[in-house]
Structure formats: structure tokens, C-alpha cells
């Protein structure tokens, strides 16, 4: 089967490229909606014009068939998909491209690639969909290594087994969201894990980063759906038993979840699946201000009602994403079940919303419409929109965290202030005109606190966008840590969050993690620079 080629710098595939006229029309509409006045639209540097570093490594004959060093393979695996990554790719900068991309078709080939990397003194970077926003897949591995091989799991994308009785499926790590969902649908099942990057990200990447899906409560993170996992390390296979639960010491699954490629390559996992929900109820509730809404969501989070959707969006973000008119905060509220009607849960949740001054649209059962569906469509279109914003000269990035309820108001105030100040200061002198937009929503809620997610849109400082990105990242991450929150709730650590992660984690734990890495990866070839420095 011919592989669809990915866009080597942005979201999606090459065959989805919009025409110049389409881009111009979209840009004009977006600029008017966001209140930015832009100059022209910048065009991406064509791949043929891009500069890539020399290839320093050739594969051995027995691996030549699965190793690629053409410009498209190297460039498209050079960066993740943060704003800074997209911008550098757009401008034809691939300074950290890997020397080779290996695409193993079976575990035996993967083992051979790892053995060869170790012999050749090359770093090895596991790669799922390359949607990391924290520098997780970038071949910035340091001078200790002769070269770098990126190991793309894309050829391992099958659902291998389905256990309908225990409702679990064995799935290969390289399966992208739509690919695994379409195979599960043949059995009437779904994994129901929908991160915003769903279209391009993979099961292995989700596990390696402890990804968070679209749903707000209960099984929000991929590890909640994990029954067992199998990985190939440089010192053998790490595979756990399929168990619904186990108290046998530190969990081998939990240790691989969030390992970000430093311990080995996840090749497959048994995950919990379920039939598609048939009972749904959803609506959008308006609140007079974000904090009014937050008080309501706090109460909802502690009722045991477990709404599947409970995204509180501040007025500015509601206006940005067309979920509202900007005059009120909007709570996208939904319940679903495969088994029972959910109307009574919705009724009780709305009673609570009413007691906090909320007002709502008529509740819809089944298919989504209205503000909640406008918001969902905008959510799924967002990655494509970001590519357009780069061409328009508009800075756009998101920052996420989690904190307990009693500290949330102070965190919110401080992060919004830090982000706004940094956005204004860092965009001084930009050609694009317009006020920065700093907004917040909750992506997930827990009984003891929310996961707030901040979006910054601002005029980009021409030619200095990466410095601007660093200034904002520094200001916001410092504010997050100073308030005692986590540097990441679901975007992972990678290379970009290292300074704050190093500050956040307990030192004895860091020592234990380094030692664990040394046991399974004594040469330290697995994704060096991510999470810990090799011993």
C-alpha cells in the first residue's frame, strides 16, 4: 500500500494542502475574527530549498530496506509540532534532523536496529506520530553520539487480538487514532481515547507521554485504559501480564507510561475497550464570568456524576472558538453511557449549574449540535488553523497544568498576568497589529482540582519568533511552578520542560529513574536528553 506522505513541517498530509486562494480567504476571515491586522501571507520554504545537515551514518546491508535518509523522511521527523517546531519547519530549518529514519515492520527488525545503534554509537529516538509539543522527538542528542536514528513505529499499526469477553484489545504501538478506531469498529468497539492530536498521534506515543483524551472525568489518561504493555529495551523485552488490577509492587506498566522513549520502544499494549456509547445528553451552560463557572465545576467534580464532557471555557476563548459570543463563560457539559439513560445525571448537573447562576440551551440527546458541537469542531480543526497562523505572522501556543481547587484562583490570576505581560512585551515591534489574546479553559477535572489550559495568541515578532516563544514559555512555566502546580498535566516533559521538571521531581526519584535507565539502556542511547540525563 502506498504511504500517504505527511506534510513535512505542519499538520496533516501533503495531499491536503489548500490552494493559495483558499489560504488567503481563510486568513482574512481568521484575522477579522481575532482582531489582528496582518500583512501578506508568508509561504513555506519548499523541501527542495531546505538545508539539512550531512548524513553521518549508513545502515548495515541487512537493515538497508527499512532505513531512509531522503530529505522528506529526515525533515518530517526532525521536529515535533509545537509552535516553535512548526515555525522552524515552515522556514526550512531542520538543524536537528536525524541521520536516518528506520521503519521496522516487526519486533525482530526493531531489535536489530537497537543493537546496531548501540554498536554504531548512535542515539535512538522512538517516534509515533511526531506530535510532541515538548521537543520529545527532536534529534538534539549532544556530541556524545556519532549520529542519531529515529525509529518510526508507523508500520506496526494493527489491532492484533480482541477479547470481547474481557473487553480488551491487543494493539500495536504505531497505530494512529483513526487507524486503531476503524479496526476496533469492525468489532463494534472503541478505545474512546481522543486527544486533540488524535488524527496523527499513536497508541505508543500516548502511552509514552501519558496522554490525556478529550473526556473530562474518570478514564481521562491513556494509562487508565492500559491492561498490559510490551516494550523492547536494549537489554531485552519488558512485558507485563494482562491483569484487571494488581498490587504486586511498583507497576511495570505505570513505569513505562510516561517513559518518553528513554527506557525502550513500546511495541504493543492490551488496552480496555468498550462498545460505542448509545445514550448521550449534552448542552452548553453560560456563566457570568469564568470564576462563577469554576465554582460550579468544582461542585460538579465532587458529586460522583462524572460528566464525560465538562469543559469550562472562559469568555475570550469561547469567542475565539465560536462556542460563545465573548460575553459569558461557557461550560460544555455532556454525559454518555453504553448501558443506561443519562437524563437524570444531566438533570442533577443542571440543578447545580442553576444554583451557581448558570443558564443553558435545551439539552440534546444523541448527536451534537449547538454551542457544544461548534466548540468540538473548532477543537478538531485547531491543529490545521495553527499552521495558517504561522503563515499569518501570529504567535500561537498553549500551556497546560493541574492544581488543587483551593490554589486554583491564585494560579489562574498569576498565569494570566504573566502570560499577558510577556505577550505584550514580547510582541512589541511586530508587523502584525492587534492585542494579544490570553485565554483559559479546563481540559480535565478531578474531585480535588482542575487541569487548566492556557492559550496565547499574539502578533509574532518578525524573525525572532523562537526567542518570543522562549520568553513566553519561561514566564508562564515559572509562574506555574511558583504556584506549586505541575509543569505538565498531559503534554509530557521532553526536552523543553526539563528545567521545570528537574525542579518539580524529588531528587531520590530522579536517581532511581537514572538507575532504572542504566539497567535497561546501559549505553544511554534511548532518547538522550529527555526526562533525565543518562548516567
Ligand X SMILES: Cc1cc2nc3c(=O)[nH]c(=O)nc-3n(C[C@H](O)[C@H](O)[C@H](O)COP(=O)(O)OP(=O)(O)OC[C@H]3O[C@@H](n4cnc5c(N)ncnc54)[C@H](O)[C@@H]3O)c2cc1C
436 binds ligand X (CB under 6 A): no
Q: Check residue 128 for interaction with ligand X (CB under 6 A).
A: yes
- Classify the phi-psi angles of 241: left when phi > 0, otherwise alpha if psi is within -120 to 50, otherwise beta: beta
CA–CA dist 373, 501 (Å, integer): 36
- Interface residue with ligand X among 7, 183, 190, 201 (CB under 6 A) is 201
Task: Supply the minimum distance, in Å, between the C-beta of residue 183 and ligand X.
Answer: 17
**Spatial separation of the C-alpha atoms in residues 259 and 254, rounded to whole Å:** 9
- For residue 238, state whether it binds ligand X (rule: CB under 6 A): no
Laid out side by side, the sheet with 236-239 consists of: 159-163, 168-172, 265-272, 226-233, 236-239
Q: Does 84 bind ligand X (CB under 6 A)?
A: no
Q: Does position 131 bind ligand X by CB under 6 A? A: yes
Element of type H or E holding 180: helix 177-185
CA 159 – CA 170 distance, rounded (Å): 6
CA distance 88 to 79: 8
Q: Which of residues 298, 468, 523, 527 is near ligand X by CB under 6 A?
A: 527
Residue 81 touches ligand X, criterion: CB under 6 A: yes
Of 47, 162, 208, 460, the residue at the interface with ligand X (CB under 6 A) is: 208
> Which residue has the CB atom at the shortest distance from ligand X?
205
Does 150 bind ligand X (CB under 6 A)? Our answer is no
- Scanning 129-137, 281-289, 309-317, 453-461 for contacts with ligand X by CB under 6 A, the matching segment is 129-137
Point out which span in 200-208, 313-321, 340-348, 480-488 binds ligand X (CB under 6 A): 200-208
Residue 261 sits in the site that holds ligand X (CB under 6 A): yes
**Nearest CA-CA partner of 228 in 171, 176, 158:** 171
Quote the least distance from Cβ 398 to ligand X, whole Å: 8
Binding test (CB under 6 A) with ligand X, winner from 27, 102, 148, 153: 153
**Minimum distance from residue 236 beta carbon to ligand X (Å):** 15
Distance of CA 155 to the CA centre of its chain: 21
Site string for ligand X, 266-305 (x = CB under 6 A): x---------------------------------------
**Burial class of residue 481 in the structure, from the number of CB atoms within 10 Å of its CB (0-12 exposed, 13-18 middle, 19+ buried):** middle
Asked whether position 452 contacts ligand X by CB under 6 A, the answer is no
77 touches ligand X by CB under 6 A: no
Candidate segments 96-104, 197-205, 324-332, 353-361, binder of ligand X by CB under 6 A: 197-205
- Smallest Cα–Cα separation from 126: which of 497, 519, 528? 528
Site for ligand X, residues 477 to 506, rule: CB under 6 A: 490-492, 494
Nearer to ligand X, 435 or 520 (CB): 520
449 binds ligand X (CB under 6 A): no
Cell 528506520: give the residue: 102
Contacts 24+ apart (CB under 8 A), 374-379: 374/321, 374/322, 374/323, 375/284, 375/311, 375/313, 375/318, 375/321, 375/322, 375/323, 375/330, 375/332, 376/332, 378/321, 378/322, 378/323, 379/196, 379/214, 379/321
Q: In angstroms, rounded to a whole number, what is the distance separating the alpha carbons of residues 436 and 503? A: 30
Count of chain residues binding ligand X (CB under 6 A): 38
Asked if 212 interacts with ligand X (CB under 6 A), we say yes
Which grid cell is 40? Answer: 501578506
Residue 418 Cβ vs ligand X, minimum distance, rounded to whole Å: 22
What residues make contact with ligand X under the rule CB under 6 A?
80-81, 125-133, 136-137, 153, 173, 195-197, 201-202, 204-206, 208-209, 211-212, 260-261, 265-266, 383, 490-492, 494, 527, 530
Amino acid at each position: 500500500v502506498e504511504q500517504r506522505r505527511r506534510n513535512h513541517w505542519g499538520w496533516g498530509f501533503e495531499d491536503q494542502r489548500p490552494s493559495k486562494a483558499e489560504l488567503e480567504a481563510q486568513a482574512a476571515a481568521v484575522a477579522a475574527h481575532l482582531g489582528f491586522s496582518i500583512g501578506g501571507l508568508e509561504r513555506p520554504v519548499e523541501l527542495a530549498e531546505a538545508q539539512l545537515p550531512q548524513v553521518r551514518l549508513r545502515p548495515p546491508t541487512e537493515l538497508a530496506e527499512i532505513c531512509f535518509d531522503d530529505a522528506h523522511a529526515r525533515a518530517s521527523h526532525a521536529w515535533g509540532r509545537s509552535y516553535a517546531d512548526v515555525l522552524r519547519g515552515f522556514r526550512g530549518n531542520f538543524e536537528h534532523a536525524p541521520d536516518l529514519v528506520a521503519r521496522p515492520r516487526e519486533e525482530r527488525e526493531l531489535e536489530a536496529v537497537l543493537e546496531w545503534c548501540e554498536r554504531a554509537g548512535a542515539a535512538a529516538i522512538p517516534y509515533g506520530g511526531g506530535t510532541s509539543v515538548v521537543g520529545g522527538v527532536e534529534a538534539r542528542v549532544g556530541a556524545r553520539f556519532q549520529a542519531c536514528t529515529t525509529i518510526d513505529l508507523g508500520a506496526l499499526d494493527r489491532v492484533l487480538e480482541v477479547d470481547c469477553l474481557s473487553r480488551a484489545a491487543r494493539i500495536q504501538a504505531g497505530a494512529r487514532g483513526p487507524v486503531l478506531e476503524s479496526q476496533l469498529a469492525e468489532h463494534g468497539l472503541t478505545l474512546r481515547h481522543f486527544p486533540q492530536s488524535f488524527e496523527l498521534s499513536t497508541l505508543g506515543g500516548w502511552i509514552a507521554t501519558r496522554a490525556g483524551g478529550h473526556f473530562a472525568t474518570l478514564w481521562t489518561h491513556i494509562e487508565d485504559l492500559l491492561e498490559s504493555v510490551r516494550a523492547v529495551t536494549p537489554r531485552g523485552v519488558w512485558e507485563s501480564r494482562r491483569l484487571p488490577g494488581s498490587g504486586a509492587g511498583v507497576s511495570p506498566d505505570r513505569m513505562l507510561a510516561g517513559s518518553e522513549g528513554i527506557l525502550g520502544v513500546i511495541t504493543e499494549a492490551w488496552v480496555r475497550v468498550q462498545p460505542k456509547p448509545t445514550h448521550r445528553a449534552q448542552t452548553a451552560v453560560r456563566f457570568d464570568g469564568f470564576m462563577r463557572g469554576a465554582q460550579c465545576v468544582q461542585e460538579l467534580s465532587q458529586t460522583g456524576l462524572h460528566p464525560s464532557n465538562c469543559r469550562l471555557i472562559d469568555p475570550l476563548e469561547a469567542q475565539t472558538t465560536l462556542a460563545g459570543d465573548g460575553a459569558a463563560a461557557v461550560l460544555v457539559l455532556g454525559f454518555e453511557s453504553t448501558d443506561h439513560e443519562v437524563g437524570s445525571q444531566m438533570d442533577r448537573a443542571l440543578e447545580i449549574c442553576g444554583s451557581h447562576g448558570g443558564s443553558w440551551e435545551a439539552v440534546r440527546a444523541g448527536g451534537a449540535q449547538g454551542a457544544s458541537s461548534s466548540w468540538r469542531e473548532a477543537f478538531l480543526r485547531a491543529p490545521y488553523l495553527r499552521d495558517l497562523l504561522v503563515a499569518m505572522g501570529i504567535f500561537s501556543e498553549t500551556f497546560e497544568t493541574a492544581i488543587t481547587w483551593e490554589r486554583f484562583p491564585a494560579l489562574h490570576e498569576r498565569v494570566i498576568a504573566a502570560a499577558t505581560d510577556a505577550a505584550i512585551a514580547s510582541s512589541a515591534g511586530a508587523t502584525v497589529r492587534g492585542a494579544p489574546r490570553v485565554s483559559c479553559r479546563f481540559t480535565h477535572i478531578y474531585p480535588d482540582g482542575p487541569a487548566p489550559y492556557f492559550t496565547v495568541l499574539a502578533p509574532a515578532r518578525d524573525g525572532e519568533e523562537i526567542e518570543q516563544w522562549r520568553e513566553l514559555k519561561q514566564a508562564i512555566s515559572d509562574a506555574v511552578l511558583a504556584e506549586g502546580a505541575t509543569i505538565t498535566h498531559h503534554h509530557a516533559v521532553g526536552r523543553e520542560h526539563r528545567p521545570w521538571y528537574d525542579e518539580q521531581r524529588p531528587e531520590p526519584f530522579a536517581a532511581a529513574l537514572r538507575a532504572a535507565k542504566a539497567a535497561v539502556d546501559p549505553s544511554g542511547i534511548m532518547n538522550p536528553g529527555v526526562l533525565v540525563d543518562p548516567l
